[in-house]
Amino acid sequence: MGADVLINGYDLEKTFGVCLEEGGLSVFEQPPVPREPFFNEWPDQSGRDYDETSAVVYQTQFFEIPFLIIGSTMADYRKKKADFIKLIDFNGSFDFQVIDWGEAYKLRYKEVTSWEFINTNLGSETSARFVLRVEFNFNIKPYVFRYLADNNGRYIIINDNKKVLVKTSY
């Protein structure tokens, strides 16, 4: 499977049976596209006269992230799917925390672009691949966190050493 990721501190694999597919983090390596800077095209001069004093501003990025969801039965699969969608489908952004990188991105759910059953059986394991389309505002930088595991549980440490427990049930 792919990297360990959390959403809003929830362990996706343990809580929802959702795993990031191999290579799923590569979408975050795509550099942003700068917006066209302000310019004038004077009728009596060739070319464009750009405003080179203003800061570079970037376009909003859209990422398509591949996941796999597994349930022990069809009923378990359907519950995990509903709970996972409920976690991300609201009018706001969620924290997508990549444990291996120690970085978290503020993402906004847009849609599921594909959903394909891999294994369907009412009495046994049910799984599917799906792709989430999310929005990332490049002007909101990812924040850095540390990951800590001890005898009391697993935590992420963010802003000013705030300790947040990694959740495994929804």
CATH of the domain at 105: 2.40.30
Q: How far apart are CA 123 and CA 148, in angstroms?
A: 38
Residue 37 lies in a domain: no
Q: Would you state the pLDDT for residue 129?
A: 96
- Per mean pLDDT, which range of 38-47, 102-111, 152-161 is the poorest? 152-161
pTM for the model: 0.81
What percent of the chain has pLDDT above 70? 94
Residue 67 burial by Cβ neighbours in a 10 Å radius (0-12, 13-18, 19+): buried
Residue 149 lies in a domain: yes
Average pLDDT of the residues of the chain: 87
3-state SS, residue 152: coil
pLDDT in tens, 102-151: 889 999 999 999 999 998 766 788 999 999 999 998 777 777 777 777 77
| SS3 sequence of 78-90 | HHHHHHHHHHHCC
Residue 40 lies in a domain: no
pLDDT higher than threshold 70 for residue 41: yes
Q: Which residues contact 166 (CB under 8 A, 6 or more apart)?
A: 6, 9, 10, 11, 153, 154, 155, 156
Residue 46 lies in a domain: no
Q: Would you state the pLDDT for residue 111?
A: 96
Residue 70 lies in a domain: yes
Q: How far apart are CA 97 and CA 60, in angstroms?
A: 19
Domain containing 76 equals 5-25+57-165
Residue 112 lies in a domain: yes
Q: How far apart are CA 142 and CA 136, in angstroms?
A: 10
Is 156 within 8 Å of 150 (Cβ atoms)? no
Residue 45 lies in a domain: no
Q: How many domains does the chain have?
A: 1
Residue 159 lies in a domain: yes
